[in-house]
Amino acid sequence: MSTLIPAKTSSGQQVFILKEGSSETKGRDAQKNNIFAAKLIAEIVKSSLGPRGMDKMLVDSMGDVTITNDGATILKEIDVQHPAAKMVVEISKTTDNEVGDGTTSAVVLAGALLENAEELINKDVHPTTIVDGYLKAEDKALEILKEIAVKVKPEDRRTLEQVAETSMQTKLVSDLGKELASVVVEGLSLVAEKNEDGTSKVDIDNVKVEKKAGGSSSDTKLIKGIILDKEVVHPGMPKRIEAAKIALVLSPLEIEKTEFSAEIRINTPSQMKGFLDQENAMLSSMVEKIEASGANVVICQKGIDDVAQSLLAKKGILAVRRAKESDMTRLSKATGARTVTNLDDLSSRDLGFAKLVEERKIEQDKWVFIEGCKNPKAVTILVRGGSQRVVDEAERSLHDAIMVVKDVLEEPAIVAGGGAPEAEVASRLREYAAKLPGREQLAVLKFADSLESIPLTLAENAGMDIIDVQVELRAKHSQGKTWYGVNARSGKVGDMMEEKVIEPLAVKEEIIRAASEATSMVLRVDDILASGKSAAPAGPPPGGMGGMGGMGM
Ligand code: ADP
Ligand code: MG
């Protein structure tokens, strides 16, 4: 920061070290301010939690509309300015990157933790004590989660599908969940690489989601290969090649223009012909090199000259030009082809293999499908749906589903959903708290209360009576009914494991970790120094939040 703290000299003279327009908020005011802003963020996403959660319609500064129910997406789209609010937005991003799901829950939990911390601060419990208590509670909570989690076998497709279904149930495409779940599980099982200890490693880059509005959502399917959103370059080329031998070329199949502008003076028609002949000879030699390698499909990252196109067409070779760099990499991984820059180096050993390469018409566009790849470790999910918004939201749900299946493949343990694990951990934390001396006990109890905010929010969004739910949940969990949670569909408290509403252990762990971390960060701040906006020469209103600009929504 460019500002410094104002001070008084020993003789009592005030020294201004802050730039004009800067402001400082200290102590309890600063804490209140931060907690308030962070809580507001949680309020925004709260109503979208769970299968009965509402969607948000977000309009950006360009007027583009997004309709979503995904916590991370909502927070990405809104333009938050307050620094403490930003910290909370950050956790939805980290959760999204780490485990892919649970972004709303993390923010809701952080909001509850802060709200409960505020109550303690009002009772003169020092924030450091709260932070310490929360840390103890976090450790214990993670320990309890591990204890109650159920180990699963990664080969158990049905369980993986149920995990995917649970994550998609809460989204727009909820009725489609079952079909999409099997697409996701099949795709990821192909891509997963087994470790010796039974877990797997999944590289998400090998699962590409392509979307195209049109058709019906149930047309969404798994392609065991790659789709290029390009067409075959020349009408005379074959549109379908079985047992494809694929060359991946990074250099242009064109005569490259000189870097500097050159002038060629041609005086006679024969000179002209000689010049063109030479060009054609060069192109023809390129095509011959491709043919000599045995390739019947060429994917080129750069352009292909018209003459080269028709020569390739004559030889029955299918060609695609200007493929994306990322697609070239994936094609290389999937088909086993080695990319070549210099055609002189191209040999049969560099070629990749696919059972079928075919141009297909998808709505108005022609796309090239490369299927049945030799190395099936790269797959594509083609998302279809009635409108752009539907496919956009389907894509977001698929992202969550792909990530939760990956989570379980990498850490094969699950818990039930519907707030059951949160209620169980809360109940056990209360027992744990009773054994703690001092004020930290209070913080641990508040942590337990905060965890209950997850089942209670699910209940609230499902239109259930939250007091009844709270009482019933506490009773069940004290009787050792670990998986009792809120069944948002039936509107009752029930055994969520039996309902097959299940989630990865990894997601629940990450929610608790991310929310506690953000909470501690916010609570530790007792001084906000904000430099004035450079555009606004006038100082901030006295005691106000200068450059913090409030919430920009
Ligand atoms: P997040 O961004 O946190 O994943 P979601 O809107 O996806 O938010 O909601 C996730 C929560 O919904 C989880 O706690 C999950 O257990 C719960 N959930 C999913 N399906 C059901 C269901 N049928 N009944 C009750 N809760 C459910
Ligand atoms: Mg979710």
For the chain, the average pLDDT equals 85
Question: Active site includes 495?
Answer: no
| From 9-13, 127-131, 212-216, 346-350, the region with the lowest mean pLDDT | 9-13
Ligand 1 atom 4: residue of nearest CA: 102
pLDDT on residue 169: 81
- Ligand 1 and 45: CB distance under 6 A: no
pLDDT on residue 547: 41
Question: What one-letter code names the amino acid at 323?
Answer: A
Ligand 1 atom 1: residue of nearest CA: 102
pLDDT on residue 7: 67
Residue indicated by tokens 């450079």: 534
| Angstrom distances, CA of residue 290 to CA of 158, 259, 474 | 46, 26, 71
The string over 189-198, giving b where at least 16 C-beta atoms fall within 10 Å of a residue's C-beta and e elsewhere, is bbbbeeeeee
pLDDT on residue 542: 44
More confident residue, 151 or 543: 151
Mean pLDDT of 530-536: 59
Pair 380, 209: CB distance under 8 Å: yes
Mean pLDDT of 395-401: 87
Neighbours of 317 (CB within 10 A): 22
Distance 153 CA to ligand 2 centre (A): 22
Distance 417 CA to ligand 1 centre (A): 6
pLDDT digit string (tens) for 134-184?
999 999 999 999 999 999 888 888 999 999 998 888 775 556 777 788 889
What is the Cα–Cα distance from 67 to 111, expressed in whole angstroms? Answer: 23
The closest-lying atom of ligand 1 relative to the alpha carbon of residue 486 is 25
Does residue 527 surpass a pLDDT of 70?
A: no
pLDDT on residue 537: 46
Query: pLDDT exceeding 90 applies to what percent of the chain?
Result: 42
More confident residue, 161 or 194: 161
pLDDT digit string (tens) for 324-337?
998 898 888 888 88
**Residue 233 confidence class, pLDDT cut points 50, 70, 90:** very high
- Ligand 1 and 105: CB distance under 6 A: yes
- Ligand 1 and 457: CB distance under 6 A: no
pLDDT digit string (tens) for 90-109?
888 888 888 888 889 999 99
- Ligand 1 and 102: CB distance under 6 A: yes
Q: What is the pTM of this model?
A: 0.80
Distance 238 CA to ligand 2 centre (A): 44
Phi, psi of 410 (to 5 degrees): -85, -30
**Which residue out of 95, 104, 335, 482 is catalytically annotated?**
104
- Ligand 1 and 50: CB distance under 6 A: yes
pLDDT digit string (tens) for 264-309?
777 888 888 888 888 889 899 999 999 999 999 999 999 999 999 9
List the beta strands (DSSP E) in 286-412: 297-300, 318-320, 339-340, 352-362, 365-373, 379-385
pLDDT digit string (tens) for 469-496?
999 999 999 999 999 999 988 889 999 9
pLDDT digit string (tens) for 451-464?
999 999 999 999 99
Mean pLDDT of 500-522: 92
More confident residue, 363 or 292: 292
Distance 503 CA to ligand 2 centre (A): 9
The closest-lying atom of ligand 1 relative to the alpha carbon of residue 103 is 2
pLDDT on residue 80: 74
pLDDT digit string (tens) for 71-97?
777 777 777 777 778 888 888 888 888
Tokens linked to 355 = 């059972």
For the chain, the 3-state helix, strand and coil shares in percent, each to the nearest 5, are 50, 20, 35
Cβ-proximal residues to 123 (8 Å cutoff; 6+ apart), any chain: none
Distance 377 CA to ligand 1 centre (A): 30
Mean pLDDT of 14-41: 75
- Ligand 1 and 104: CB distance under 6 A: yes
Does residue 2 surpass a pLDDT of 60?
A: no
Question: Active site includes 70?
Answer: yes
User: Of the candidates 222, 227, 218, which has an alpha carbon nearest to the alpha carbon of residue 386?
Assistant: 218
Ligand 1 atom 7: residue of nearest CA: 170
Which of the listed residues 47, 98, 101, 170 should we mutate to test ligand 1's pocket, taking the one with most ligand atoms within 8 A of CB? 170
Q: Which ligand is nearest to the CA of 49?
A: 1
Q: Which ligand is nearest to the CA of 69?
A: 1
Select, from the ranges 173-187, 192-206, 348-362, 532-546, the one with the highest average predicted confidence (pLDDT).
348-362
Q: Which ligand is nearest to the CA of 165?
A: 1
Mean pLDDT of 187-212: 84
Tokens linked to 278 = 């030479």
Question: Active site includes 104?
Answer: yes
Dihedral sign of CA atoms 435, 440, 444, 446 in order = positive
pLDDT digit string (tens) for 375-396?
667 888 988 888 888 888 788 8
Q: Which residues pair with 210 in a beta bridge?
A: 382
